[in-house]
Amino acid sequence: MADRPYPHGNLRAALLEQAERTLREQGLDQLSLRELARQAGVSHGAPRRHFADRQALLDALAEAGFARLGAELREAVDAAGSDYEARLRATAAAYVRFAVHDAALLELMFAGKHREQQCGALHDAADRAFAVILDLIEQGQAGGMLERGDPERVGLLLFATMQGIAALVSAGLVDTDLVDGLVADAIGQFLHGPRALA
Amino acid sequence: MADRPYPHGNLRAALLEQAERTLREQGLDQLSLRELARQAGVSHGAPRRHFADRQALLDALAEAGFARLGAELREAVDAAGSDYEARLRATAAAYVRFAVHDAALLELMFAGKHREQQCGALHDAADRAFAVILDLIEQGQAGGMLERGDPERVGLLLFATMQGIAALVSAGLVDTDLVDGLVADAIGQFLHGPRALA
DNA sequence: ACCTGAACACCGTTCAAGT
DNA sequence: ACCTGAACACCGTTCAAGT
């Protein structure tokens, strides 16, 4: 209740930031435009100037989520050593970390219900996150660590596997202490095929 | 507006059935207890006798969703021929079909927010769906089509991959005409390793 | 045992009015 | 250009009362 970090002119950013925090700490159900306005110290009609309706805010959150996911994946790759399997593993681990830390946000990012309008921006943000994986695939193929093949197809498969593991974890269908093993299995299978699991 | 198919005594089943339809046709946002009560021809307080609150209804929907998913996977396996790769492919195709037909329901099934109470029943239903995949893995290992290895770990990986593909499709991040290829890639990679993608 | 109906607090959205 | 504040329709939840 001290000074507002956004005295003015930044209402849109303030709403998004607080919304992301609420989403993380209390879930989508508790995310209300009126409460966000209250926390920002403006009237309940004010957010309308920046977001046409609640869904527009959710779309913007999802877009920002993909941007941040892409950045975190990129960081993980860059921080990993030169060993290719370690780079893959670090990427997958970063993905799962994001999924655990921002489960509700990830749900929102993959929620089917998105506006046609924002859908373009959302799709672009998702593509930029996917580009990290794509780069990794091309790098692996160039270095001979991965078989040749359409990088997009191979990358989509890796992307899907990571998202699937994230979903199982977020849903609580797999115990958290099994996650690391599952990620390792996924990367091993991806690189070396079924015999990696034997 | 004709006769109610549930004159009485089946309110719980009627609510669940209508809720699943609304979820499919209009999405989670449009699912309201009051509207369900209206469609069932009862007062808005009546559902409370069968579901403590809205979340309890959603939990029940998710549980029923896993039960149906399991049944549809089982049917797909049984309807497929004896060729093992075809059986795997049919299972994955059935999963994606479910995801496309009931995207909002699948979202609900994997939504983190589930009650402790219902969580047991939900987990059991999910386990029964997973059992179909587990059987398939054990069958593949016994027949020599799959490498040996903890069937649970191998099965989880396949489960995650299917869920990941489903998520990408539901989110609209991959065009529907690429789905079949992606499923084929996933199964090929799962059975034969990376060289299947070259 | 199951349902009704009034009540309460809250929400998203709209819009005329202010600065 | 941006925000206010009253208004409207709708919702989830509670609870005393009915049968």
Per residue in A97-124, pLDDT (tens digit) is: 999 999 999 999 999 878 766 678 999 9
**What is residue A8's predicted lDDT score, i.e. its pLDDT?**
61
> Average pLDDT for residues B9-13, to the nearest whole number?
90
Residues A149, A155, A160, A166: what is their CA dihedral angle, to the nearest 10 degrees?
140
Residue nearest D6 (alpha carbon to C1'):
A45
**What is residue B113's predicted lDDT score, i.e. its pLDDT?**
79
**What is residue B119's predicted lDDT score, i.e. its pLDDT?**
75
B154 vs A contacts (CB less than 8 Å): 185, 197
Write down which residues 87-146 in A have CB closer than 7 A to strand D: none
**What is residue A6's predicted lDDT score, i.e. its pLDDT?**
61
Residue A4 has pLDDT above 70, yes or no: no
CB of B50 nearer than 7 A to strand C: yes
For residues B36-66, one letter each, b for 16 or more C-beta atoms within 10 angstroms of the residue's C-beta and e for the rest, the string is bbeebebeeeebeeebeeeebbbbbbbbbbb
**What is residue B181's predicted lDDT score, i.e. its pLDDT?**
96
CB of B49 nearer than 7 A to strand D: no
The per-residue pLDDT for range A138-194, each reduced to its tens digit, is 999 999 999 999 999 999 999 999 999 999 999 999 999 999 999 999 999 999 999
> Average pLDDT for residues B176-192, to the nearest whole number?
96
Kindly state whether A184 is in contact with chain B, defined as any CB-CB distance less than 8 angstroms: no
Residue B2 has pLDDT above 50, yes or no: no
The per-residue pLDDT for range B141-160, each reduced to its tens digit, is 999 999 999 999 999 999 99
Kindly state whether B109 is in contact with chain A, defined as any CB-CB distance less than 8 angstroms: yes
Mean pLDDT of chain A: 93
Interchain contact, B153 vs A182, CB within 8 Å: yes
**What is residue B3's predicted lDDT score, i.e. its pLDDT?**
41
In angstroms, the separation between the Cα of residue A62 and the nearest Cα of chain B is 11
The per-residue pLDDT for range A6-57, each reduced to its tens digit, is 656 799 999 999 999 999 999 999 999 999 999 999 999 999 999 999 999 9
**What is residue B55's predicted lDDT score, i.e. its pLDDT?**
97
Chain centroid to Cα B43, Å, comes to 31
Chain D: nucleotides under 7 Å from a protein CB?
A: 2-7, 10-16
Interchain contact, A112 vs B170, CB within 8 Å: yes
pLDDT-derived band at A2 (thresholds 50, 70, 90) equals very low
Task: Please state at what angle helix A151-170 crosses helix B151-170, rounded to 10 degrees.
Answer: 110
The tokens 């110290």 sit on which residue? A41
Kindly state whether B192 is in contact with chain A, defined as any CB-CB distance less than 8 angstroms: yes
The per-residue pLDDT for range B57-79, each reduced to its tens digit, is 999 999 999 999 999 999 999 99
Q: Give the residue among B111, B194, B102 at the shortest CA–CA distance from A171.
A: B111
> Average pLDDT for residues B4-11, to the nearest whole number?
68
Pick B116 or B80 by higher pLDDT.
B80
- Separation of A43 CA and D9 C1' (Å): 20
For residues A147-173, one letter each, b for 16 or more C-beta atoms within 10 angstroms of the residue's C-beta and e for the rest, the string is bebebeebbbbbbbbbbbbbbbbbbbb
**What is residue A128's predicted lDDT score, i.e. its pLDDT?**
98
Phi then psi dihedrals of residue A18, to 5 deg:
-65, -35
What amino acid is encoded at B116 in this protein? E
| B22 vs B32: CA distance, rounded Å | 9
CB of A4 nearer than 7 A to strand C: no
Query: Nearest chain A Cα to B190, which residue?
Result: A194
CB of B35 nearer than 7 A to strand D: yes
Structure tokens at A149: 């093949």
The per-residue pLDDT for range A70-96, each reduced to its tens digit, is 999 999 999 999 999 999 999 999 999
CB of A85 nearer than 7 A to strand C: no
**What is residue B112's predicted lDDT score, i.e. its pLDDT?**
82
Query: Nearest chain B Cα to A146, which residue?
Result: B194
The per-residue pLDDT for range B91-148, each reduced to its tens digit, is 999 999 999 999 999 999 999 878 766 678 999 999 999 999 999 999 999 999 999 9
